[in-house]
Amino acid sequence: MSAIDKEKIVSSVPQKGFFGHPRGLFTLFFTEFWERFSYYGMRAILVFYMYYEVSKGGLGLDEQTALSIMSIYGSLVYMSGVIGGWLADRVFGTSKSVFYGGVLIMLGHIALALPGGLTAFFVSMVLIVIGTGLLKPNVSSMVGDMYAEQDDRRDAGFSIFYMGINLGGFLSPLIVGSVMGYSFHLGFGFAAIGMFFGLIMFLITKKKNLGLAGTYVANPLSPAEKKKVYLVMAGAVVLLGIILAVTIPTGLLTIKLFIALVGILGFLIPTIYFIVMYRSPKTTEVERSRVLAYIPLFLASVMFWSIQEQGSTILANFADKRTQLDIAGIHLSPAWFQSLNPLFIILLAPVFAWLWVRLGKRQPSIPQKFSLGLLFAGLSFLLILIPAYLGGTNSLVHPIWLVLSYLVVVIGELCLSPVGLSATTKLAPAAFSAQTMSLWFLSNAAAQGLNAQIVKFYRPETEMLYFGIIGLSAILLGIILFFVTPLIQRQMKGVR
Ligand code: C3H
């Protein structure tokens, strides 16, 4: 996209109308609110749906497998952003990708809402993985599209957008979690309705609010490329179909192997991405240097999300199995704990926004904020090992420990996540704008791919060691990142 195109797009978006931000932020805020409402509502009960006995409405899988599938599912959802970002940059543009993605997601939740057992679960997984890959990175990069390059409101815009994500993530576990005791399928039905509302909202308001944002294709395929690409794609789908048709019935492809393969892909795909972006003739010298600067930030982000995402697997299990759920005459649903992280985000995001503005030029640089993110993530795991240290792993612990752990990781999240989204749009080479956003989400995919392996080490006997090793690793990485900050900053070529 040339500079003039960028200017044309920005001027086509009404620049005021939503808390002093471009009016399109309203549309993107609520689209993402509903998408996250559906996704996190579904995830808040999915782990229980998988390991609860069939007599209790679950699928009756064993707990370790359920935890690994949760991580692998999360990893695939973020990994498919590669396809979504590519399709947006080269075929559809971001706006159409968001819409198509939303439709697939809704169908995925509908599949889960029907009592179809394991088959429906796998069908829904495929639909939601592809749908989220189309929607999630593209709705985020549309946020960046609405601001001029030097517009100071960009970071704040991403913080507001992040609030939308977390408002959805806060409300849905409460609603969906409350009906899970009655019927899991009803809970999944609420998720489908949420995505339906998001689609309607997007369709009704996009023309008026988003102008040209999302309507262009950043780096369209030439007719010759189109032919080649479609042929390769069709070949790949057929090949994949044949491989699955042979390996599943013969027992060659086990869940264990599949989980390992996704874990490997989680690191392989970003590596290829970095190489392609770095070597592309469409990437300028300055952009190349910024791609290099992005690598350590990416690695830090993997470590951070590895801990944060365990909030919905290991800590969800901790809420279910290790926590007193009857407090002051009230019975707590374990799914409700999933709302704590977003609740703290909503409460603390304005404090952080204020803090960064207040600190002005004295605020930590992007890599320093990332290192703070790691520090707090590590501390949140050290904190949750304390109850086992004090009382062993055979008794139930007071919910306050979980509350505190979720609070501390959120402080880290606010240092790293909205900053990461915004930094991605600043460091992205122009020809790879939506794809660089997919790269950001790949850090989460790699983290959850890694988690699918490490969650296997979590058992009551290993609890302290488990939280201790992971927590300390994050803190150590945070310290290293802090010391290499000047080096990274130099490579960023003026991006702050
Ligand atoms: O979803 C995103 O884009 C980024 N993630 C977030 O904003 C998280 N704060 C969501 S919290 C969580 C993953 C879901 C809550 O329903 C729970 C973590 C324990």
Output the six-digit token pair for 265. 């892909």
**In angstroms, what is the span from residue 163 Cα to ligand 1's centroid?**
11
Confidence of residue 339 (pLDDT cuts 50, 70, 90): very high
| pLDDT score recorded for residue 159 | 84
Strand, coil or helix: what is 331?
Answer: strand
Does ligand 1 have an atom closer than 6 angstroms to the CB of 68? no
What residue spans define the domains of the chain? Answer: 16-219+251-491
**Cβ 108 vs Cβ 160: under 8 Å:** no
Judged against a pLDDT cut of 60, whether residue 145 lies above it is answered with yes
> In percent, how much of the chain has pLDDT > 70?
99
Judged against a pLDDT cut of 70, whether residue 3 lies above it is answered with no
CA atoms within 13 A on the CB side of 205: 19
| pLDDT score recorded for residue 248 | 85
**In angstroms, what is the span from residue 373 Cα to ligand 1's centroid?**
15
**In angstroms, what is the span from residue 45 Cα to ligand 1's centroid?**
14
CATH 3.30.420.40 fits 16-219+251-491, yes or no: no
Look at 219 and 339; give whichever has higher pLDDT. Answer: 339
Start-end of H helices in 80-210: 81-87, 94-113, 117-145, 154-179, 184-210
Question: For the segment 164-199, what is each residue's pLDDT rounded down to a tens digit?
Answer: 999 999 999 999 989 988 899 999 999 999 999 999
Question: For the segment 86-135, what is each residue's pLDDT rounded down to a tens digit?
Answer: 899 899 999 999 999 999 999 999 999 998 899 999 999 999 999 999 99
Question: For the segment 169-178, what is each residue's pLDDT rounded down to a tens digit?
Answer: 999 999 998 9
Does ligand 1 have an atom closer than 6 angstroms to the CB of 74? no
Judged against a pLDDT cut of 70, whether residue 4 lies above it is answered with no
C-alpha angle 450-453-457 in degrees, rounded to nearest 5: 125
Taking the model in full, what pTM does it have? 0.86
| pLDDT score recorded for residue 256 | 84
Strand, coil or helix: what is 397?
Answer: strand
Nearest-angstrom CA–CA distance, 289 and 472: 31
| pLDDT score recorded for residue 392 | 83
Name residue 323's beta-bridge partners. 397
**In angstroms, what is the span from residue 174 Cα to ligand 1's centroid?**
14
Question: For the segment 390-440, what is each residue's pLDDT rounded down to a tens digit?
Answer: 988 888 999 999 999 999 999 999 999 988 988 888 888 888 877 788 889
Does ligand 1 have an atom closer than 6 angstroms to the CB of 166? yes
Does ligand 1 have an atom closer than 6 angstroms to the CB of 176? no
| pLDDT score recorded for residue 2 | 47
| pLDDT score recorded for residue 400 | 96
Does ligand 1 have an atom closer than 6 angstroms to the CB of 41? no
**In angstroms, what is the span from residue 305 Cα to ligand 1's centroid?**
10
| pLDDT score recorded for residue 131 | 97
Question: For the segment 429-484, what is each residue's pLDDT rounded down to a tens digit?
Answer: 888 877 788 889 899 999 999 998 899 899 888 999 999 999 999 999 999 999 99
Nearest-angstrom CA–CA distance, 154 and 175: 32
Reference 277, options 219, 230, 331; nearest CA is 219
Strand pairing category for 330-331 and 326-327:
antiparallel
Average pLDDT rounded to a whole number, residues 44-60: 93
CA atoms within 13 A on the CB side of 240: 6
Does ligand 1 have an atom closer than 6 angstroms to the CB of 40? yes
